[in-house]
């Protein structure tokens, strides 16, 4: 079983948390990585394929080629937590059983504030239906966690006040889960708002009494920033930290000294290429890693193929400065494209 105590981990992130980001994070100090939330009904449609060429396992909907979930056991085994979006115990179990042999833990998303999740009773809506949330977790513990020796966990947000939050956490801890992640903001709060960290120790005590590990999330900017928070709030070392926003911009943020963006983008593209990552997703991540003020932001935005991305990368100097102008090459690619039509 995974141990979460005191770990610094990559948050679940739709789009950003695909395999290349997770590999980059693991290679650069992340103790554990969460996959992006995948909805139960989507996962249930998938079949497992061993991808010999890449050394990966893919979960694919029949007749499609782009995997809903791809994992590389050689790198991720012992470190990968799979997050499910659900509001139905039976579907949650079915979804968890679909992937269980390739992941180390199953996590339930009970914190997403987006309309898409809430209106179908998933994400943060589960915080308002605690009976249902507890039923999902109890069933997962009994039918997936225990028989397969895997960790069952849940990621929540704070409720409007301390008492209600502690009461909810006490209930969740009694479902048999091994781990809890608390995003230290309430559901209406946005990521730019300062998290509420005033009663983390009390949350920890409830968890500890029930043998549940705790990771806090929200506004942690780096490993050193997490250590600062631990020191300032005198937090026990067993409480871990989870990073999203800053790890999306720089998946090496788990290191004591994170790598600069111009080297991060090179490493990222190499991994994305090696693991046949989808071009749209690769471009999305490049746009998160490359600062908007760099000329390269525009250069990469104009690329339409991996070959063009590689060409632009070749002109990225050792300090993020341009070694030449990639635009003529890109214009030429557009011309060739027109002629080929
Ligand atoms: C997220 N978040 C998120 N949370 C979750 O439980 N499942 C998910 O799939 C996602 N997807 C996602 C995508 C992106 C691009 C971002 C930035 C965030 C929320 C995330 O895990 C985290 O709880 C919040 O972002 C707060 O942490 P930070 O950003 O303050 O470190």
Residue 112 a catalytic site member = yes
Architecture of the domain spanning 8-249:
Alpha-Beta Barrel (3.20)
Half-sphere exposure of 283 (CA within 13 A, CB side): 16
Segment (H or E) for 107 = strand 105-110
Position of tokens 């009694």?
174
Q: Where are the beta strands (DSSP E) in the chain?
A: 8-10, 32-34, 38-39, 46-51, 56-61, 69-71, 80-85, 105-110, 151-158, 179-186, 213-217, 240-243
> How many other CB atoms are found less than 10 A from the CB of residue 116?
11
Take residue 163 and report the two structure tokens written for it: 């008492």
For residue 139, what pLDDT is reported?
A: 98
> How many other CB atoms are found less than 10 A from the CB of residue 135?
15
Read off the DSSP letter of residue 65.
-
Between β-strands 8-10 and 32-34, what pairing exists: parallel, antiparallel or unpaired?
A: parallel
Q: Name the residue ranges covered by the structural domains of the chain.
A: 8-249, 261-340
CA distance 59 to 214: 30
> For residue 191, which atom of ligand 1 is closest to its CA?
30
CA of residue 244 to ligand 1 center, whole Å: 5
Nearest CA-CA partner of 219 in 254, 249, 184, 188: 184
For residue 11, what pLDDT is reported?
A: 98
> For residue 242, which atom of ligand 1 is closest to its CA?
31
Residues 179, 105 contacting (CB under 8 angstroms): yes
* Nearby residues of 60 by Cβ (< 8 Å), 6 or more positions away: 46, 47, 49, 66, 67, 68
Nearest CA-CA partner of 8 in 186, 205, 195, 256: 256
Tens of pLDDT, residue by residue over 175-206, are 999 999 999 999 999 999 999 999 999 999 99
For residue 338, what pLDDT is reported?
A: 86
For residue 2, what pLDDT is reported?
A: 86
Tens of pLDDT, residue by residue over 302-324, are 999 999 999 999 999 999 999 99
Q: Which residues of the chain have pLDDT under 50?
A: none
220 Cβ below 6 A of ligand 1: yes
Nearest CA-CA partner of 284 in 252, 248, 308: 248
CA of residue 218 to ligand 1 center, whole Å: 9
Take residue 127 and report the two structure tokens written for it: 């915080």
For residue 153, what pLDDT is reported?
A: 98
């Amino acid at each position: 079983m995974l141990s979460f105590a005191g770990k610094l981990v990559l948050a679940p992130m739709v789009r950003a948390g695909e395999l290349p980001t997770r590999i980059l994070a693991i290679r650069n100090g992340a103790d554990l990585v969460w996959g992006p939330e995948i909805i139960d009904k989507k996962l249930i449609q998938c079949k497992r394929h061993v991808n010999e060429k890449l050394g990966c396992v893919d979960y694919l909907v029949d007749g499609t080629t782009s995997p809903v979930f791809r994992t590389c056991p050689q790198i991720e085994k012992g470190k990968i937590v799979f997050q499910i979006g659900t509001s139905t115990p039976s579907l949650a179990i079915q979804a968890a059983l679909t992937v269980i042999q390739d992941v180390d833990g199953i996590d339930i998303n009970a914190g997403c504030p987006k309309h898409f999740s809430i209106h179908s009773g998933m994400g943060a809506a589960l915080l308002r239906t605690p009976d249902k949330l507890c039923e999902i977790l109890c069933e997962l513990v009994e039918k997936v966690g225990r028989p397969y020796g895997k960790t069952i966990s849940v990621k929540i947000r704070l409720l409007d006040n301390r008492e209600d939050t502690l009461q909810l956490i006490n209930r969740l801890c009694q479902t048999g889960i091994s781990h809890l992640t608390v995003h230290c903001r309430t559901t209406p709060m946005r990521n730019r708002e300062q998290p509420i960290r005033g009663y983390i120790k009390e949350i920890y005590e409830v968890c500890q009494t029930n043998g549940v590990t705790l990771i806090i999330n929200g506004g942690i900017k780096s490993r050193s920033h997490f250590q600062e928070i631990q020191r300032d709030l005198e937090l026990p070392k067993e409480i871990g930290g989870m990073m999203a926003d800053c790890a999306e911009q720089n998946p090496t943020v788990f290191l004591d000294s994170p790598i600069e963006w111009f080297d991060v983008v090179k490493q990222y593209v190499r991994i994305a290429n090696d693991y046949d990552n989808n071009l749209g997703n690769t471009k999305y991540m490049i746009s998160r890693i490359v600062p908007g003020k760099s000329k390269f932001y525009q250069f990469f935005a104009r690329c339409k193929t991996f070959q063009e991305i590689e060409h632009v990368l070749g002109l990225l100097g050792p300090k993020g400065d341009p070694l030449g102008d990639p635009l003529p090459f890109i214009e030429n690619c557009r011309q060739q494209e027109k002629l080929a039509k």
